[in-house]
Structure 1
């Protein structure tokens, strides 16, 4: 993903940010409002790491996929579904409808 994805959907990334950096506070994220420089400086202060280390961590984090609950795009969704196939049991189709997941009724 690119930083503009994060910046455009800033508050939607709070969960992903706090998963990666549990030291952050959502109230502080509100003040940062997607400003990358401010975010890097904040992370350095919150984690006690050097700015260069934080920049590298952020680059690595941005190499990941955009969380599927942030971008509603059929192409992106299908790509995310395909990537999830490694978590689906053999013989099951990752594209199957989950509407009846856990429903043991006969079909």
Structure 2
């Protein structure tokens, strides 16, 4: 993931950030408000590590997966839906209800139950 994802969904990342860096609390995160430089400087000050070390930790953390609670955050989810429009046929709305495609319960019983 990129810092841009973190910055755009800043509050949704609070839990994942505190899990990685337990020294920081939500009040600090509110104040930092997604500013990467401020985040690195604050962590360096709190942990006594060099900013270069924090940046390396941050690079490693960003190489991981986006936490599921962030993926499910409405802002991120709506962005993902909008990006999916390139896979939706012309004239279709990517935000429309897909109920017309049916449900697994509508399939005939194949006797495996």
TM-score class normalised by the smaller sequence:
0.5 to 0.7
Quote the residue 1:65 is aligned against.
Answer: 65
Structure 1 residues 1-107: aligned runs within 5 Å: 1-72=1-72
Distance 1:48 1:28 in 2: 16
Question: After TM superposition, where is structure 1 displaced by more than 4 Å over at least 4 residues in a row?
Answer: none
Equivalent residue of 2:71, what SS?
coil
Question: How many residues are aligned here?
Answer: 75
Q: 1:70 Cα deviation (Å)? A: 0.9
Distance 1:24 1:69 in 2: 19
CA deviations 1:48-90 (Å, max 9, x no partner) are 10001000000000000001121245xx8xxxxxxxxxxxxxx
Larger Rg: 2
Query: What are the ranges of 5 or more consecutive residues in structure 1 without an aligned counterpart?
Result: 77-106
Q: Let me know the Cα RMSD of the aligned residues.
A: 1.6
CA deviations 1:1-38 (Å, max 9, x no partner) are 11011000101111100100000021011010000000
With structure 2 as the length reference, what TM-score do the two structures score? 0.63
Query: What are the ranges of 5 or more consecutive residues in structure 2 without an aligned counterpart?
Result: 81-112
More helix by proportion, 1 or 2?
A: 2
Distance 1:50 1:24 in 2: 16
Distance 1:69 1:18 in 2: 14
